[in-house]
Structure 1
Amino acid sequence: MQKSTTIIGILEMFEDYYSYRDVQARFAVGNSTITDIKKKFAVMDIPLKELTTKSPKVIESMFYANQHPGKNLPLPDFSQIYTKLTDKKSKSNLYFIWRGYKKVHPDGYQYTQFKYYLKKWLDENHLEENLRMVVERMLGEIIYIVILV
């Protein structure tokens, strides 16, 4: 499942006649992912400008329907978990929080899926680590110098 910015970026690059190789290099996705996004967009029959006005969650749900059909397992309150994990006085770790979740919901998600949904929640609510900046430049125009002290 790709994020909405990746989906829009791929479609915009193809609208500007970029090649598969250029799109792969920019977004680090494979041919099958690119083809899948293009096919799904062609079926939708809406213009790209209209798609860009929609919210990220709506765009992702348009391209990727329910990833786990039939699974209606309860999820914990991730904001509370985040607070516990980032509190300096708390000695909680994710594994013990998950064990508490499993005591309350014995049929709930296993540890790996629990971590997956927590990471998904963190990506949606705390984006500091997920930011990217595209720098378009001509060779030799600007030199970036990084000095490590």
Structure 2
Amino acid sequence: MGKTIRFGVSLDSDLLQKFDELCEERCYQTRSEAIRDLIRNTLVQKEWEDTDNELAGTLSLVYDHHQSDLAQRLTEIQHDSHDVILSSLHVHLDHYNCLEVIVLRGPGNDIRDLAQRLISTKGVKHGKLGLTTTGQDLK
């Protein structure tokens, strides 16, 4: 970790008040902690734009496991991309619906392509990709 540097920020009083309310809402001990998080989040989002960067993330899928061959098709797609799948969790939500959470790590393009193939598979009711960073470039 680098040396800590202090710097000043000028803000409109109304904006500062809203920021302080946000800090309190989210239980930040100091404005500095909140600003660090905002900066890190922006850097992570920038990381996502570079499709060659190694990213990590989770893909959540909800589907009806009674739909003909759907579970098999989802498994086949996952096997085709085994190099970016670290783990998966299958949960029975009720008699019909399942939640599958897949933990991913690899090149951004590969992760996005896999997510789109799974989400767009006929019978998937909902899918959501949540990207994050491997943390290697964050301090």
TM-score (norm 1): 0.29
More helix per residue = 1
More strand per residue = 2
Q: Which has the higher contact order (CA 8 A, sep 6+)?
A: 2
TM-score (norm 2): 0.31
